[in-house]
Chain A
Amino acid sequence: MTNLEFTPLVLAISMAAGYLGSLTGLGGGVIVTPALTLLLGVDIRYAIGASLVSVIATSSGAASAYVREGFSNIRIGMFLEIATTLGALAGAYLSSRTPTSILAIIFGVVLLQSAWQSSRGALRDLAAEDADPLATRLKLNGTYPGDESMRHYNVSHVKAGFGLMFGAGAVSGLLGIGSGALKVIAMDQVMRIPFKVSTTTSNFMIGVTAAASAGIYLSRGYVEPGIAMPVMLGVLAGSMLGARQLIGARVRMLRWTFAIVVAVMAIEMIVSGVRGS
């Protein structure tokens, strides 16, 4: 295949991944890597390098809008980024020492988890607990725009959340994805931060987390311009289209269809990994 054939093909796949990723909240990175490896036979290390770069583009684009609306909490984001960036460094180092067959299997498992989480729809807010004294000391408790007035929220289980964020960062660095789903679980389910604040703050953190592993990916030659160019432009364009789409009743249907497609891709990734090893 020549570059003139390869580039538009990758661009189209990436646009579709970005579009679906933003409609379902899964993110484009988690879809574009299996698509490139399974459909075009691209080596998984090139795919995760390109995917990671696209993750920075989409998360920074989206975060820019959320920050202005006042949902994301800069302090929570900044504090937890210590954990996610350290995790990302560890994950990126591990990535180059892990055989590609094992990477494919881990990717498949993470993909299955995302499909399952996405099919369930939005998580429900758990009952608020008293603020963790550490959260008070770190000024993590905040407010967000409610229906009529600003609503206050407390942050609990700061240490557990911090630990989980290290894990989310490691998965992000290992597989070149945003791992937004894991970040949301840590904030919403463990630290009891309201769902809207969790999702927007998670998006805010994804770009910084990805930048921490990007330096290592670049040094190792994972970021190949010929692939990263169409992937970054495609995922970015697709996710911008997806974000403009009105969220209607069809999203539920779409979510289910999509969860099945992702599950099939996940199983194929696992099978290809098992065959390869």
Chain B
Amino acid sequence: MNTWDDERLERIISIVLRTGVTISAVIVLLGGSCYLIRHGYELADYHVFRGAPEEYRSVDAILHAMGPANCRAIIQFGLLLLIATPVARVAFALAGFVLERDRTYVVITSIVLAILLYSVAFEH
């Protein structure tokens, strides 16, 4: 096992995680402020489950709804980035194992990545 490469991989993963969380928190905060300014006096009623509107339920729909007029889509975009952060972490780990020529872990990491992409990219 090449420890130098593993250490380097760990450093990169650490940076990916921190950056992802920070950027998404900032976007959610911006979207949230915008939402409160525009919809602050509307009623918050979440006692009965209706489900978030369709435009906030998939990657395509959220990207489509994004814009300065739609604050909730901005929040949802920030949350999408947050969900993408662990996915990016796995993708970076995959690249690392490819560079290390560690075939077993290339396979293992690919399986995890496929499961994640199946969940996030498709509608269920």
Contact = CB atoms under 8 A, between A and B. Distances in A.
Interface of A: 1-7, 40-43, 45-46, 53, 56-57, 60-61, 63-65, 67-68, 70, 74-75, 78-79, 81-82, 85-86, 88-89, 92-93, 100, 137-139, 207-208, 210-216, 218-230, 232-233, 236
Determine the interface band of chain B, counting residues with CB < 8 A from chain A.
35 or more
A233 B28 contact: yes
A56 B76 contact: no
Contacts of A75: 105
Given A70-B10, A82-B111, A211-B116, A229 B44 contact: no
Interface of B: 1, 6-7, 9-11, 13-15, 17-18, 20-21, 24-25, 28-29, 31-32, 35-36, 39-44, 46-53, 56-58, 72-73, 75-76, 79, 82-87, 89-90, 93, 102, 104-105, 108-109, 111-112, 115-116, 118-124
B39 A225 contact: no
6 contacts: A4-B41, A43-B48, A78-B105, A215-B116, A215-B118, A229-B35
Most chain B Cβ neighbours within 10 Å, of A41, A61, A138, A232: A232
Contacts of B124: 93, 215-216, 219-220
Contacts of A227: 46
